[in-house]
Amino acid sequence: MKTLFPYPVLSGEVVLVADRLVVDNIPRQWKAISEREHVIALHEVKGRWKEIRIKVSVTVDAGELAAGPWSAPTCVAVVRNPRTRIRHTFTLAPAGNGVWEGDVELRRGEQLGACEIDAWVVADVGGESGRLIGTASERWRADFEARTPTQQRSIKMVWKNFTDDIDLTEFRDDPWLLDAQADDPVLYLNSSVEGLRGVLENATTPEQKVVRDVMAAQIASETWASMFNAALYASDMEDGEVQWPGGWHEDVLKRMLPDVFADRSPSEGLAELVERRTEGQSGGDLQRRVMHAATFQSRKPKAVAGALKSLARMASAKESV
């Protein structure tokens, strides 16, 4: 989205970099930080930690900063956690040559899931103080659930014996179930269904692989469809503007809306859906579109075509014996 300011802003990149991770004063390994992915993996930070400090630096074009029509530039790092709705800013110290450095602190009890780290460069412009003249070109994510520092993440999956679980025993014969109520969607896989885990995780024969691929596509498309519906109910309109739900709801919508409405921007598409929902339309057209998007996400066409091809191959192999 292109934003226009009523005063000049930095045109060059504002580069935010995480340099060092310290948990309760003990430095952690640098490989938890990925500069390429802009992710800090905090999965191993568990148990009784109190505070995490992340040393960050922000670099802007020193020449542009010096030459621009602004004065007294400062820089803050901003930590936002969409789940806990916490936002903190940390003033960074100038290190000269267009660089600021400092620590960002994450406190236990304020963080859940993942938080986002941004950088804002603020200066006096035209006699007005505190004007934003630049934000980080790429934000960072400090992810408490990531084992490796990559942007790539999947929804949580848990193997459970449904018969033994108080909450799940009601669904004990279901091979899988999506719980979209929690803060995070969790896909429960029923380990009491004999052979399910074997096929999904250790398929060896061609037959097992065919079943695995088709089943995986099926699980995925059901999961996407129900996540989409949950996300849609979490969205709202205010003053004619669509309100994105944030969190995983937003992630799901962002992934699927382009397939739900190919010729609309995601926010326009979402506005349309929320409107239809509040107007109480039957939703026939909507369900058709959601199914299409879920099919696409789960790569079902490929799985089905592949399975049919394998079947034909197996059949002809049998004939030739």
Partner 1 sequence: MPQDFAEWLRGMLRQRDMSQKDLAGAIDVTPAAVTAWIRGRSEPRYEKIAAIAEALGVAAEDAVSRRQPGAASSELSWIFRKAPADGGREGGNAAAFAFAANLEVLAREATQNSLDERLPGGQPVVSRFVLHELTGQHLEEFLEALRWSEIEKHLHAAADPGQKVGRVLLDGLQELERTRRLVLLRVDDYNATGLTGPDYDDGRFARVVRRTLDSGKAGAQGGSYGLGKAALWAASRFGLVLVNSTLSERQDGRHERRMAGRLELPWHALGTDEFAGPAWFGVKDPDRDDAARSWWGDEETARSLYLERDGSAAGTSFLVVGAYDGSGDTEQLEEMHERLAAGVARNFWASMVGGEAAAPLLRASVASWRNGRVVRAEERIDPHRHEPARSRAVQAFLDRRTVLELTSREDVLEMAVPLKLPRLKDGAGSDRTSPTTHDAVLLITPSGDDEPAADHISYMRATRMVVRSKKVGDLPLGHRNFQAVLLAGAATMKDTPDVEAAERLLRASEPPDHNDWTGTEDLTAMYVRGARQCIVNFKRLAEQSVREALQTQDDGQQGDEGPEVLKELLRLDPPKAPRTQGFPTIHAIEGEVDEHSAWRVTVTVKCPEREDPWVLAPAIRFTGRDGGGIPVRWAGRLVPVKNCELTKEGNLLFRGRRGVFKGVTDVASHPVPAAMSRIEVDVPRAKEAKA
Site for partner 1 in 165-224 (CB under 8 A): 187, 189, 197, 200-201, 212-213, 216-217, 219-220, 223-224
**Helix-helix angle 266-278:247-260, to 10 degrees:** 100
Task: Show the 3-state SS of 179-216.
Answer: ECCCCCCEEEEECCCCCHHHHHHHCCCHHHHHHHHHHH
Please identify, using beta-carbon distances, which residue of 220 and 273 lies nearer to partner 1. 220
Task: Note whether 44 binds partner 1 by CB under 8 A.
Answer: yes
Which span sits near partner 1 by CB under 8 A: 27-35, 61-69, 165-173, 308-316?
Answer: 27-35
- Tell the smallest beta-carbon distance from residue 16 to partner 1 (Å): 12
- Tell the smallest beta-carbon distance from residue 319 to partner 1 (Å): 30
Task: Note whether 245 binds partner 1 by CB under 8 A.
Answer: no
**Helix-helix angle 206-234:300-320, to 10 degrees:** 170
Please identify, using beta-carbon distances, which residue of 172 and 264 lies nearer to partner 1. 264
The only residue of 264, 276, 277, 292 in contact with partner 1, by rule CB under 8 A? 264
For residue 211, report the phi and psi dihedrals to the nearest 5 degrees.
Answer: -60, -45
What gap in Å lies between CA 309 and CA 149, rounded to an integer? 38
Which span sits near partner 1 by CB under 8 A: 68-76, 92-100, 157-165, 277-285?
Answer: 157-165
Task: Note whether 233 binds partner 1 by CB under 8 A.
Answer: no
- Tell the smallest beta-carbon distance from residue 224 to partner 1 (Å): 8
CA–CA–CA angle 215, 218, 224 (5° rounding): 140
Task: Note whether 62 binds partner 1 by CB under 8 A.
Answer: no
- Tell the smallest beta-carbon distance from residue 181 to partner 1 (Å): 17
For residue 111, report the phi and psi dihedrals to the nearest 5 degrees.
Answer: -120, 145
What gap in Å lies between CA 297 and CA 255, rounded to an integer? 8
Task: Note whether 3 binds partner 1 by CB under 8 A.
Answer: yes
Please identify, using beta-carbon distances, which residue of 239 and 319 lies nearer to partner 1. 239
Task: Note whether 4 binds partner 1 by CB under 8 A.
Answer: yes
Task: Note whether 32 binds partner 1 by CB under 8 A.
Answer: yes
For residue 102, the 8-state DSSP code is E
Task: Note whether 226 binds partner 1 by CB under 8 A.
Answer: no
Residues with Cβ within 8 Å of 119's Cβ and at least 6 positions away in sequence, in order, are 14, 16, 56, 58, 75, 76, 77, 78, 92, 100, 135, 136
Please identify, using beta-carbon distances, which residue of 152 and 316 lies nearer to partner 1. 152
What gap in Å lies between CA 233 and CA 229, rounded to an integer? 6
Question: Do 51 and 105 form a contact (C-beta atoms < 8 A)?
Answer: yes
The only residue of 155, 193, 237, 291 in contact with partner 1, by rule CB under 8 A? 155
- Tell the smallest beta-carbon distance from residue 5 to partner 1 (Å): 5
Please identify, using beta-carbon distances, which residue of 27 and 206 lies nearer to partner 1. 27
For residue 189, report the phi and psi dihedrals to the nearest 5 degrees.
Answer: -110, 130
The 94-113 site mask, x for binding partner 1 (CB under 8 A), equals --------------------
For residue 2, the 8-state DSSP code is -
Task: Note whether 91 binds partner 1 by CB under 8 A.
Answer: no
Task: Note whether 239 binds partner 1 by CB under 8 A.
Answer: yes
